[in-house]
Amino acid sequence: MSAPRPTTVEVRLPSRLGYEKVAMSTASAVAKLMGFREDRVEDLKTAVAEACINAIEHGNRLNEKLSVGVVLSVDVDSLEVKVIDDGKGMKGRPTKPDIDRKMHGEEDPRGMGMFLIQALVDEAEWVAGSDGKSSYVRLVIRLDKDAA
């Protein structure tokens, strides 16, 4: 008996801020079809939005000739989302924002995207493309997290 075919949904976004909402809506629809709780859907929407914003701003540097790929792969108990751009990959690792340092001007008020991504999903990894482009962030959210 053959294994069921994986379900994949792909979206291509222009590198224009605001279009991350298309990826959010798509991810939300897929997660709801899978039976994720509403609070987990909201977590996923924010993580996907931040990943797309990073891809648009930092990966593709707002170059509208480039697009951002969003690939959603449905598994039995998890949803994987890859957000792919033509950049060299994110430098550094997510760090928890220090609100006191921000309030005192010692840390940029921005720069919370990677932290939010990592904090809101079950797995997050940033992979630099081997050819210096086609980098991606891979997110995984599991269906049974904190199930009642």
Partner 1 sequence: MQSETKSRIDQLTSPAGRPVAVLRFEGDIASTSKEAVLGTFQSLPKGTAKLVLLDFTKVDYINSSGIALVIQLLIEAANSGQKVAAFGLSAHFTKVFTMVGITKYASLFPGQAAALAAL
Binding site for partner 1 (CB under 8 A): 16-21, 39, 42-43, 46, 49-50, 53, 97-100, 102-103, 105, 108-113, 115-116, 119
Least distance to partner 1, CB of residue 85, Å = 17
Least distance to partner 1, CB of residue 123, Å = 18
108 or 123: CB nearest partner 1: 108
Return d(Cα 84, Cα 69) in angstroms, integer. 5
74 or 115: CB nearest partner 1: 115
39 or 131: CB nearest partner 1: 39
Least distance to partner 1, CB of residue 111, Å = 8
Least distance to partner 1, CB of residue 56, Å = 11
What is the pairing mode between strands 123-127 and 78-85? unpaired
5 or 91: CB nearest partner 1: 91
- Phi, then psi, of 87 in degrees rounded to 5: -95, -175
80 or 107: CB nearest partner 1: 107
**CB-CB contact of 14 with 69 (8 Å):** no
Q: Provide the 10 A C-beta neighbour count for residue 74.
A: 16
Least distance to partner 1, CB of residue 115, Å = 8
